[in-house]
A and B are shown apart, each in its own frame.
Chain A
Amino acid sequence: MGRWGGDAVSPEIRDIFRIFAVGFIAAIFHTVLKQSGKEDFAHWATLAGLVAVFAIVIGYVDHLYHEITSVFLLQ
């Protein structure tokens, strides 16, 4: 991911912009594929983007859960 740059900003902002980029590109793919008649491919493309972004988000939410459990002595 280094080639994509964005190492000047903090990792959180970079991830937010990455999620935005994946979402935007998935939306564009969806419309392009829909126009060109391949309706089912469009849904698959959006689903793939969703799964990729969901993995990133779930990874960070898990990071948050560990932080809360460690700070608030929940375990």
Chain B
Amino acid sequence: MHIFQLVGIGLTATVLATILRQHSPQFATLISIFAGAVLLWMVVHSLTGVVQELRGMATDAKISQTFLTTVLKIIGIAYIVEFAAQVARDAGESALGGRIELAGKVGIVVLALPIFTDVVQTIVHLLP
């Protein structure tokens, strides 16, 4: 992951967005969306190795795949929801950002429910 390239893209996009903001704010928002997507794509792309490593360790440690896949899914949802919510807030739509975050939270709760029920069941079995 070339950190300088990432920072460079971010800075140029910020400068271009500020230039465009007085003339046409819509295009400034579009530039910030595009630059955000580029940066997030590069970060996520460099995460592939980490995820492979984690899955390898999970199989070595004989942890069942569902736990790791759920955690990874939750992280994925968190990334994309945070990206969209911040873009909405930048454009001045803080209410929309809140709604997007609410959707993300609900999605995460739905994903985490099976694991939660597993934990509760094991605890109930442990009790005398």
User: Which range holds the interface residue count of chain A?
Assistant: 20 to 34
- A6-26 interface code vs B (CB 8 A; 1 in, 0 out): 000010110111011011101
Q: Which of B51, B72, B73, B76 has the most CB of A within 10 A?
A: B76
Residue B112, interface by CB 8 Å: no
Q: How many residues of B contact A (CB 8 A)?
A: 35
Contact A67 to B9, CB < 8 A, known contacts A24-B20, A24-B23: no
A71 touches B44 (CB 8 A): yes
Residue positions of B touching A, CB distance < 8 A: 5, 8-9, 12-13, 16, 19-20, 23-24, 26-28, 30-31, 33-35, 37-38, 40-41, 44-45, 47-48, 51, 69, 72-73, 75-77, 79-80
